[in-house]
Structure 1
């Protein structure tokens, strides 16, 4: 696993780099002190994971996290910062973990384990996208939480949303199943002909859209058959209009 550390403090970069190299799953570790240098590295190197500080001199780590979405195969993100007040915002943009300074080997290893699991799941999802046709997508998915595993028919799924780092899958019987899986993981389990990501934190089944209402900045909000309201992100507007023949 090749890693990029983005932090404007050399001491923090050195400390984290040392802890990372103590883990056998880590390959190359690169460093950047700001967004411009980080993007330069990302455009020329294959990076699997970024440890990203939030306060970068006059810049903000969330800016880079959003830029990553423009990459074809973006790296995973773990925020590494001295402030705990941004944790909810970090998980809202699908960060894998949130590690506080000063760094500890045990905590860094926990974050790396989580990242490795996410990478394996993403590789599995990418392989399914390449090797599976819509006709042989799985009829069921399983979600595990609190030592219980739920078996869910994919045809019953209305939506999948992420909030505060938790994935919630809602079915047409109005059951909510909560898990620590990621949105990218479940996206790989669902038939792309029937499901679409409409927001950075939401996927919906197109068959369960009941109504479309105007929203802020010329976007839409979807009203689903269970009366849930799902906002549509601006970057997903064009595809949604095409899919719904608007």
Structure 2
């Protein structure tokens, strides 16, 4: 892309806007299309100015950045989105709306530069279009937070998921990560051919279940691939029967 990449900055904090403006000014091949301090104004400016990309805050009054990004998805040619936020709990939602990058405040010039290069690469990708494969309606990946940034977890690699208060813990081998989801939402978004709910607080990958046992009180337990057991809730006994081919 030979022309400058035109960015719109959207943030309700004037100092944050000023900082991003200064950082952008130090990057070659970048131009500022404008700024907005709230979501509705951002949408109006995007329609009028048609920027190539948006540096978008998430936590804003009235209309947050995730809602803005979802609204952009309805446009014929939406700008690319880079989220810039002080919170790491929106990573999954950010990548569900196909954000190019997710930057944590305070943003460094180096990190912003890498994000701009991702935008440039996306805009430069003018290879002949091929029919896109049909996108699954189920979650195929999770983006989880770690001390140094974000990690991508393929849904197929997750052994089991357990509820912890208002969060869900994804278990992969000996490691685990917390995400801000409800178990009811995950049950809807995960492929039922791959995952099964066995308890009000647990979802298990089907091929991670190695067997079932019944104790002296009549309660059923699923035996898992890591040697652990998962109690089967009364409401989910039918799921266990179907998994065992007894449904």
Q: Secondary structure at the match of 1:112?
A: helix
In 2, distance between residues paired with 1:69 and 1:167? 24
In 2, distance between residues paired with 1:12 and 1:34? 13
In 1, distance between residues paired with 2:101 and 2:119? 8
- Match status 1:77 vs 2:84: no
Query: 1:128–1:23: structure 2 CA closer, same or farther, 3 Å change rule?
Result: same
Q: If each structure's helix is expressed as a fraction of its own residues, which one has the higher value?
A: 1
For 1:95-114, what aligned pairs fall within 5 Å after superposition? 95-114=99-118
Gaps of 5+ in 1: 138-153, 171-175, 177-215, 230-246
For 1:114-153, what aligned pairs fall within 5 Å after superposition? 114-121=118-125, 123-124=126-127, 127-128=128-129
Q: Secondary structure at the match of 2:88?
A: coil
Q: Secondary structure at the match of 1:57?
A: coil
Which of 15, 20, 36 is equivalent to 1:16?
20
For 1:1-246, what aligned pairs fall within 5 Å after superposition? 1-121=5-125, 123-124=126-127, 127-128=128-129, 161-164=140-143, 227=193
> 2:11·2:38 contact (CA, 8 Å) conserved in 1?
yes
Gaps of 5+ in 2: 144-150, 158-183, 196-247
* CA-based RMSD: 3.3
Shift of 1:77: 0.7
Residues paired across the two proteins, number: 153
Q: Secondary structure at the match of 2:92?
A: helix
> 2:40·2:63 contact (CA, 8 Å) conserved in 1?
no
In 2, distance between residues paired with 1:7 and 1:163? 26
Based on CA coordinates, which of the two structures has the bigger radius of gyration? 2
Query: 1:22–1:84: structure 2 CA closer, same or farther, 3 Å change rule?
Result: same
Deviations 1:51-72 (A, max 9, x none): 1101112331111010001100
TM-score by length of 2: 0.53
Shift of 1:81: 0.8
Q: Deviating runs (4+, > 3 A) in structure 1?
A: 157-163, 165-168, 220-224
Considering Cα pairs closer than 8 Å and 6+ residues apart, tell me whether 1 or 2 has the greater RCO: 1
